[in-house]
């Protein structure tokens, strides 16, 4: 059994209410931080814990916090990114739906550390039913004196509310989120200036993922020294993983970083193997934006080391033979799946979600979708495969925000590892329309 | 994006909706009321029967003391807002990778045949609109669809049949009839 720091009490009946949550040790970190620690000490603790951002990029949270500008008389804001729209990712919803006070608690401590007196949660609009749960929990926290003026007599004030999006993946990008929260279209901003200097309403702002903010709670409660005893050399603590695709038991799991990928996929406590007793063909370990891994690179790295659920092990081998932990969106493919079809599906997603500001992304994602669709439906030619690589290069690094890269990488990885599958679609145009490649060929690796 | 203009007079807001709008506007500092726009649009859309007509959007602009164009800009950017009338029940089936791996294509085809409409269309009796959506954050429980605020997961043709029947019996919350 791995240790659970976030979901330990998620199954307790009534844990979504203040009283039950409090009875199970809830809001202790607020008492500890506000009564016995200075804001700087909280930042230092999170830094020492080497907490990496759980939204996908893995940027150290403590470091991000220390960048926030502190001009006299200018308000600072903490924003929680609950936009969660990266395909394969549904962990933040689980946390907010079942244990909403954990997020609120983490946001109080984090706001205190940043000197922010106003914080907002930006949640994707489709999660309106979750918004209502969190909103109720916020009202309870106000009632009990954990939000509002002079929290626990500490002199620290905090207002917190939750705002819905309107259906746009791009609003998960932090500057697009800020634009959206200002009531505008979600077009990402050029950086610099970074949000830490000019964010919401041009004021210093920190944007963190739901899970990142929730993880501040156990760090403060148990101390960074204890927290860092869990995990691996470069990946400390626990991580929420949302598993989907062709696994026997999909869902949200909290793992200790460093668990082996094999154990996670096949272990009884976790995914329990591939559905219908089939074989595994491929894995996307960190949400749709990260490179796909073929069967022979999933449980072992290219060097033959055991592949672990950690930042460093999943990226071992770089883009040539590795991938990324990303958002923890774990997508498993069984032997019957067609990689070309899935690559086209993801490309369609990015084309649909491009905000359209930069031409390499707006046009490039559209072309990739069309070319991939052409190949998938048996109308492609061999040159199309190289054309995709070429479009890729023209998008990568030439856009305002990373959505362009996120669209390009999965296509490049799919071609790198499954080129013969793309070629088969070209050489067997009639069969490609009628049949699913995976069903036809089985495991290729 | 091409917008065909369908006219509908602005809805008469219920007292609860009015209070809710005032509450969410107060969540932002003085002069930043525009930040409440998406929440207000969701509230008003519900009051207006599931879609926003130009006149309804003008009303939102008045509520927030902003220009109508600022509402149109937002309404055309975010995919959740319907700018054309929709059925009483809108089924949004997730079509993205993880759901496709577990058979969302079959569910979409099944719904098209069953309701005798294509994705994007509404049944002639005005009961059902079929749409597809990108990943709705339920990938471990697919195939899935959203209807109103509710998620329906682990879909099979039988479960889809049951859902449609439940809608016909009025057991599922649908759009307001205005
Ligand atoms: C296109 C795009 C979509 C993103 N979507 C999300 C998201 O849904 N949730 C999230 O937490 N971060 C998302 N991010 C990352 C955010 O920009 C930002 O890095 C993150 O919220 C920072 O929080 P963290 O450091 O705690 O992870 C996205 C980034 C990009 C480029
Ligand atoms: S890279 Fe794409 S999504 Fe990002 S700002 Fe440019 S057009 Fe918009
Ligand atoms: S892919 Fe369907 S809910 Fe995520």
- What CATH number does residue B50 fall under? 1.10.10
Ligand 1 geometric centre to CA of A59 (Å): 10
pLDDT of residue A24: 98
- Give the SS3 label for residue A26: coil
Statement to judge: residues B152 and B107 lie in one domain: yes
Q: What is the mean pLDDT of chain B?
A: 96
Sign of the alpha-carbon torsion through B106, B108, B112, B115? positive
- Interface TM-score (ipTM) > 0.90: yes
Neighbour-count burial for B51-90, b at 16+ CB within 10 Å, e otherwise: bbbbebbebbbebbebeeebbbebbebbbbbbbebbbbbb
Statement to judge: residues B54 and B100 lie in one domain: no
Enumerate residues 377 to 406 of chain A having a beta carbon within 8 A of any beta carbon in chain B: none
Identify the domain containing residue B48 by its residue range.
Answer: 15-77
Q: What is the pTM of this model?
A: 0.97
Has residue B1 been placed in a domain? no
Sign of the alpha-carbon torsion through A204, A209, A215, A217? positive
- Count CB-CB contacts under 10 A for residue A81: 26
Statement to judge: residues B31 and B99 lie in one domain: no
Q: Which residues line ligand 2 (CB under 6 A)?
A: A 170, 188, 354-358, 361-362, 399-401, 403-404
Statement to judge: residues B115 and B50 lie in one domain: no
pLDDT of residue B3: 56
Beta strand A159-164 pairing with A118-123: parallel
On whether B94 is known to bind a ligand per the annotation, the reply is yes
Sign of the alpha-carbon torsion through A93, A97, A102, A105? positive
- The whole-angstrom separation of Cα A267 and Cα A137 is 35
Has residue B4 been placed in a domain? no
Has residue B51 been placed in a domain? yes
Domains and CATH numbers, chain A: 18-227 (3.40.50.11540), 238-334 (3.10.20.600), 339-438 (1.20.1440.230)
Q: Domain end: B48, B77, B106, which one?
A: B77
pLDDT of residue B4: 63
Q: Residue B141: its chain A contacts at CB < 8 A?
A: 244, 250-251
Has residue B93 been placed in a domain? yes
Q: Closest ligand 1 atom, CA of A169?
A: 3
What's the residue count for chain B? 178
- The whole-angstrom separation of Cα A94 and Cα A105 is 16
Statement to judge: residues B73 and B94 lie in one domain: no
On whether B99 is known to bind a ligand per the annotation, the reply is yes
pLDDT of residue B110: 97
Chain B interface test: which of A90, A116, A131, A166 (most B C-beta within 10 Å): A166
- The whole-angstrom separation of Cα B104 and Cα B87 is 22
Query: Chain A: nearest CA to B5, how far in angstroms?
Result: 21
Q: How many domains does chain B have?
A: 2
Is B36 in contact with B4 (CB distance < 8 Å)? no
Statement to judge: residues B60 and B27 lie in one domain: yes
The set of residues, in sequence order, having a beta carbon less than 8 Å from that of A272 and lying 6+ positions away, is A247, A248, A249, A266
- List the CATH number of the domain containing B158: 3.40.30.10
pLDDT of residue A442: 45
Residue B1 pLDDT exceeds 70: no
Which of B95, B140, B150 has the CB atom closest to A244's CB atom? B140
- In degrees, rounded to 5, the angle at the alpha carbon of residue A67 between the alpha carbons of residues A66 and A68 is 95
**Among A311, A169, A332, which Cα is nearest to A247's?**
A332
Per-residue pLDDT 10s for chain A (445 aa) are: 589 999 999 999 999 999 999 999 999 999 999 999 999 999 999 999 999 999 999 999 999 999 999 999 999 999 999 999 999 999 999 999 999 999 999 999 999 999 999 999 999 999 999 999 999 999 999 999 999 999 999 999 999 999 999 999 999 999 999 999 999 999 999 999 999 999 999 999 999 999 999 999 999 999 999 999 999 999 999 999 999 999 999 999 999 999 999 999 999 999 999 999 999 999 999 999 999 999 999 999 999 999 999 999 999 999 999 999 999 999 999 999 999 999 999 999 999 999 999 999 999 999 999 999 999 999 999 999 999 988 988 998 899 999 999 999 999 999 999 999 999 999 999 888 877 777 765 444 3
- The whole-angstrom separation of Cα A47 and Cα B142 is 38
The set of residues, in sequence order, having a beta carbon less than 8 Å from that of A327 and lying 6+ positions away, is A54, A55, A56, A86, A88, A89, A91, A286, A287
pLDDT in tens, B78-136: 999 999 999 999 999 999 999 999 999 999 999 999 999 999 999 999 999 999 999 99
Residue B5 pLDDT exceeds 90: no
Statement to judge: residues B102 and B159 lie in one domain: yes
Statement to judge: residues B163 and B107 lie in one domain: yes
**Among A104, A333, A325, A378, which Cα is nearest to A214's?**
A104
Residues in B lying within 8 Å of A, measured between beta carbons: 24, 27, 29, 32, 34-39, 41-42, 64, 66, 70, 73-74, 77-81, 95-98, 100-102, 133-142, 146, 149-151
Statement to judge: residues B108 and B164 lie in one domain: yes
Could you tell me which residue, B53 or B177, shows the higher pLDDT? B53
Statement to judge: residues B100 and B162 lie in one domain: yes
The set of residues, in sequence order, having a beta carbon less than 8 Å from that of A367 and lying 6+ positions away, is A391
Instruction: Kindly state the average pLDDT of the residues B57-66.
Output: 98
Is A99 in contact with A29 (CB distance < 8 Å)? no
Is A346 in contact with A406 (CB distance < 8 Å)? no
Has residue B64 been placed in a domain? yes
- Ligand in closest contact with the CA of A284: 3
Q: What is the dihedral of CA A177, A180, A182, A184, to 10 degrees?
A: 150
Statement to judge: residues B53 and B117 lie in one domain: no
Statement to judge: residues B110 and B42 lie in one domain: no
The set of residues, in sequence order, having a beta carbon less than 8 Å from that of A108 and lying 6+ positions away, is A30, A141, A146, A147, A151, A158, A160
Q: Which residues line ligand 1 (CB under 6 A)?
A: A 53-57, 59, 61, 81, 83-86, 170, 172-174, 207-209, 212, 401-403, 406
Instruction: Give the Å distances, CA to CA, from A403 to A362, A427, B79.
Output: 10, 32, 18
Q: Residue B44: its chain A contacts at CB < 8 A?
A: none
Q: Domain end: B42, B77, B112, which one?
A: B77
pLDDT of residue A443: 40
Q: What are phi and psi of A412, to 5 degrees?
A: -60, -45
């Amino acid at each position: 059994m791995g240790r659970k720091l976030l979901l330990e009490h998620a199954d307790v009946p009534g844990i979504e209410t203040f009283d039950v949550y409090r009875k199970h040790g809830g809001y202790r970190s607020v008492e500890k931080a506000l009564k016995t620690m200075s804001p700087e000490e909280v930042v230092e603790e999170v830094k020492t814990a080497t907490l990496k951002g759980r939204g996908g990029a893995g940027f150290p949270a403590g470091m991000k916090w220390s960048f926030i500008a502190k001009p006299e008389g200018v308000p600072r804001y903490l924003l929680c990114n609950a936009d969660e729209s990266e395909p394969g990712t549904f962990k933040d919803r689980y946390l907010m739906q079942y244990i909403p006070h954990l997020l609120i608690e983490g946001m109080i401590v984090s706001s205190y550390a940043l000197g922010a007196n106003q914080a907002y949660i930006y949640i994707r609009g489709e999660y309106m039913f979750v918004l209502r749960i969190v909103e109720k929990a916020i009202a309870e926290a106000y009632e009990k004196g954990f939000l509002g003026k002079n929290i626990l007599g500490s002199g620290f004030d905090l207002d917190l509310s939750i705002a819905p999006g309107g259906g746009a993946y791009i609003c998960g990008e932090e500057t697009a989120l800020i634009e959206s929260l200002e009531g505008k279209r979600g077009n990402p901003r050029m950086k610099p200036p970074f949000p830490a200097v000019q964010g919401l309403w041009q004021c210093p702002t920190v944007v963190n993922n739901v899970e990142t903010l929730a993880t501040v709670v156990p760090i403060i409660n148990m101390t960074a020294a204890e927290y860092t005893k869990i995990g691996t050399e470069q990946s400390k603590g626990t991580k929420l993983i949302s598993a989907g695709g062709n696994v026997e038991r999909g869902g949200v799991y909290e793992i200790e970083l460093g668990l082996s990928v094999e154990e996670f996929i096949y272990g009884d406590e976790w995914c329990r193997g591939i559905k219908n007793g089939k074989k595994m063909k491929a894995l996307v370990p960190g949400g749709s934006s990260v490179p796909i891994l073929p069967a022979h690179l999933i449980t072992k790295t290219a060097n033959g080391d055991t592949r672990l659920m950690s930042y460093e092990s999943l990226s071992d081998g770089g883009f040539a033979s590795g991938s990324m932990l990303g958002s923890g969106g774990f997508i498993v493919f069984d032997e019957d799946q067609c990689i070309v079809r899935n690559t086209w599906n993801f490309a369609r997603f990015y084309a649909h979600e491009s905000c359209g500001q930069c031409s390499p992304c707006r046009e490039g994602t559209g072309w990739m979708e069309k070319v991939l669709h052409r190949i998938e439906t048996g109308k492609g030619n061999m040159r199309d495969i190289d054309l995709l690589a070429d479009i890729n290069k023209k998008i990568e690094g030439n856009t305002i925000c990373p959505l362009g890269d996120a669209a390009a990488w999965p296509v490049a990885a799919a071609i790198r590892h499954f080129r013969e599958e793309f070629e088969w679609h070209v050489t067997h145009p009639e069969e490609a329309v009628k049949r699913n490649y995976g069903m036809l060929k089985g495991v290729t690796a | 994006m091409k917008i065909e203009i369908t006219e509908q007079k602005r809805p008469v807001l219920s007292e609860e909706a009015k209070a809710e709008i005032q509450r969410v506007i107060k969540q932002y500092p003085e002069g930043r009321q525009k930040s409440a726009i998406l929440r207000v649009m969701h509230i008003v859309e519900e009051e207006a029967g599931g879609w926003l007509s130009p006149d309804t959007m003008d009303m939102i602009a008045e509520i927030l003391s902003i220009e109508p164009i600022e509402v149109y800009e937002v309404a055309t950017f975010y995919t959740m807002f319907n700018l054309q009338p929709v059925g009483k029940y809108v089924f949004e089936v997730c079509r993205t990778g993880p759901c496709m791996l577990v058979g969302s294509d079959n569910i979409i085809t099944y719904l098209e045949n069953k309701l005798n409409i294509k994705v994007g269309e509404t049944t002639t009796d005005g009961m059902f609109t079929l749409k597809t959506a990108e990943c709705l954050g339920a990938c471990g429980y697919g195939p899935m669809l959203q209807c109103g605020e509710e998620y329906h997961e682990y879909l099979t043709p039988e479960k889809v049949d049951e859902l449609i029947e439940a809608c016909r019996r009025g057991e599922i919350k649908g759009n307001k009839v205005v």
